[in-house]
Structure 1
């Protein structure tokens, strides 16, 4: 399905919708989750915790969303976290210059392209204001940080543009109190804020959004000493670099130099296995190695995990080897020592300033891709089906009395009450049974329980499967265990 179909479903069924939409002055780039969206997001994050955080023995923290100015001086964000902009000389509309140029000449403009080079492209292709055809200004820079004032004296602080900075400033304390040894991964999920110039396409580009970030602290001299690498050595990865597309195992990718070391290969493989359980078509994914002019200012090696959609290839996870950029910056500005003790080539322990490999995941973009890859129009049966994995479905079970009266209704409510403590169930007695099935199919509910006259006679109910539409009868006494078995994550 395409973007428009996903958006229509999201708005009509309450997955997500624009913030403050009843007001004319509502700002773009802010969206809110409805009940179904909240449930889907929470299940997705729980899968992330299960498949990455708990599987790898990571630590998880929850840092502040507002951080001091010093943090972002040290990280380089106040100097380098900016986008190129142009302004229309006629109507004063503002555009992100690299994206405007890229759309006109139909190519991806490198992230690190210079302002003069961008303006040369604008002149060469005679690019003008899309709204009024006015002449565009020279390229300037716009810092995307949201500035806030703290307290009565208005002390300067900032909303975090990424969740990872609290991980970096907390690292020394966490390493000590949690008795860590390198390599150690620290994770965090929460809100980030970026003052995007032109937010658009609902969840794809936002000013307020969720990130799920993992920072792996490691000894740069021991990047191939990964104890658990054998667990993922045979995981197949799709990697695109300057030499083309490679479909190789994690082990082969390292031995052939497609991935520089085992540590990066290990975490790319973990990420690959996680996404394989989300319902995204893995044949339409890739790890794209970024060229030097595409990488973020702090990255030395970078891969983007991308998914093909109706909007093109979307980056879901930025996988960056940040070297010692962050800890060195915080150590210099704060004057606090970020070095830790670690083994040095088997000869003993010595101090090391850890390097960092990062998996920075956009939650909203991931949820959008899950929805698009799962939405299916079943022409044969005249229905729209959201084929979510059962363990990700916002509503897991629908309870439907075949008739709305007498003992059948009473028994249906009894079954619903029995299930809802352990399973996200929904009771629906409105409309024909066929229409109720279709409503559940459209929001991704994997199973529907039908209570009928036979239920009163023999104590059995019907379980209908969303995808196959097949129905089986199960005793009420066995119903909860059967559903929990079907809903269990593999």
Structure 2
């Protein structure tokens, strides 16, 4: 049994996670977390806040999961938040084109290829329907946004479930900037649920329709892309994969050689890798994969995907996107509200560097990385600060007042610790 299957079995036995509404023929892509799993997730979030948000002097907001249609017209999601799909002409089953091709040719396929390029790959590799071997139709683009009709008289889609938490950060930026009296650079974080109408959710927590995101949007003056803390990390080595080569490189050298755009981005990449080191991952099992132009999101100038090595291959946990001033400019233009700021060098639209992490994948990766064995049974060797329980009180006997004393100790400890 491989590690992935071991984790699924362990999750089922211990109630770590399980399909949502399982008694009613659960929909794919939706998972619930039991007491042990929910506790570990909560501690991952708190460690993220400590090591990523507070450590970098960031602030946190909480936005709505439903946002008006205009938000996504402005952001470009209604036009560009799409995945390539193909449908079998015989059994009518639908597949995500890039994933289907990758499974056959065993190579990474960029999801941003043109539909004609997907069709050519399918034809050149003689790919048919995995289920019935039927012929596949032409590739189409499928928008993953989940639309809603808000209000009793509304007959048309006028809102959407957010596909990422950052849009409420961008739309609230002006209010936050003025009321919090912050100065650039500043990281604004958010933890919350997002929704994507995935074509083929699979591998339990790996590809979901309801996701918990941990995001940090760093707003900065592009002429001052620097933080003082960079000096503490300039000799820190991160693993970067460019094309087929993966090598450790000090972040100051990466900036000097143009591998990373600026010192601010380099600093946040270093802090991110350090976070995962503290979560128990070894350096040789982590990497930042530099994305080519045909792999990047439509809003990104420069992207590094932070990946860890798992039993099912390299798994993306965090998208690190240099969004430039795309978002604030787009929302400003569409809304008519000026989102530019005034600082020493005059008026400008702040640039944004983003850390966009998926908690569900991080949770899975940490569980797999911590999986061990004792006396032939699976055990989780989690870092102490991520353990579901902090303290367990186990009286050896019930006689002589030992049980009563243990209960007294338990009642004291449970006020401040996760205790059993």
Q: TM-score range by the shorter chain?
A: over 0.9
TM superposition shift of 1:290: 0.6
**Does 2:178 correspond to 1:176?**
yes
Rg (Cα) greater in structure: 1
> How far, CA to CA, are the matches of 1:302 and 1:423 in structure 2?
39
1:407 and 2:408 are equivalent in the alignment: no
Match of 1:129 in 2: 129
Tell me, yes or no, if the aligned pair for 1:280 and 1:374 is still in contact at 8 Å.
Answer: no
Segments of structure 2 that go 5 or more residues without pairing to the other structure are none
Question: Cα deviations across residues 241-290 of structure 1 (Å, max 9, x unaligned)?
Answer: 13722212222222232222101101101111111121223320001111
Q: Distance in 2 between matches of 1:57 and 1:33?
A: 31
**Structure 1, residues 20-68: CA drift from partner, whole Å, max 9, x if none?**
11122x2100000111111111111110111111111111000000000
Report the Cα offset of residue 320 of structure 1. 0.4
Alpha-carbon distance, 1:215 to partner: 0.6
**Higher RCO structure, 1 or 2 (CA under 8 Å, sep 6+):** 2
Instruction: Give the 5 Å matches for 1:44-83.
Output: 44-83=44-83
Contact in 2 for aligned 1:237/1:248 (Cα 8 Å): yes
Q: CA deviation at 1:127?
A: 1.0
Q: Name the TM-score, length of structure 1 as normaliser.
A: 0.83
CA distance in 1, matches of 2:304, 2:57: 23
Query: SS state of the match for residue 385, structure 1?
Result: strand
Offset from partner CA, 1:364-404 (integer Å, 9 cap, x none): 100101000001123xx444321111111111122112234
Residues 112-261 of structure 1 aligned to structure 2 (within 5 Å)? 112-154=112-154, 156-223=158-225, 225-242=226-243, 244-261=245-262
Question: In structure 1, the residue corresponding to 2:306 is in which secondary structure?
Answer: strand
Distance 1:374 1:395 in 2: 15
Q: Tell me the TM-score normalized by structure 2.
A: 0.96
In the alignment, does 2:30 pair up with 1:36? Answer: no
The corresponding residue for 1:423 is 417
DSSP-derived class of the 1:376 partner: strand
CA RMSD of aligned residues (A): 1.4
What's the secondary structure of 1:133's corresponding residue?
Answer: coil
Output one character per residue of 1:293-338: Cα deviation in whole Å (capped at 9) or x when no partner: 1111111100000000001000000000011111111011100001
Structure 1, unaligned runs of 5 or more:
345-349, 427-490
Q: 8 Å contact 1:164–1:213 — kept in the other structure?
A: yes
CA distance in 2, matches of 1:125, 1:252: 41
Cα distance in 2, alignment partners of residues 36 and 296 from structure 1: 35
Q: Does structure 2 conserve the Cα–Cα contact (< 8 Å) formed by 1:98 and 1:118?
A: yes
SS of 1:179's equivalent in the other structure is: coil
Matched, 1:282 2:290: no
The number of residue pairs the alignment matches comes to: 417
Distance in 2, Cα, partners of 1:29 & 1:360: 20
Q: Name the structure 1 match of 2:15.
A: 14
The equivalent position to 1:363 in structure 2, one of 359, 371, 384, is 359
Instruction: Kindly indicate whether the alpha-carbon contact (under 8 Å) linking 1:186 and 1:215 is maintained by their aligned counterparts in 2.
Output: yes
8 Å contact 1:280–1:369 — kept in the other structure?
Answer: no
Task: Decide whether aligned partners of structure 1 residues 133 and 243 sit closer, same or farther in structure 2, where only a CA change above 3 A counts.
Answer: closer
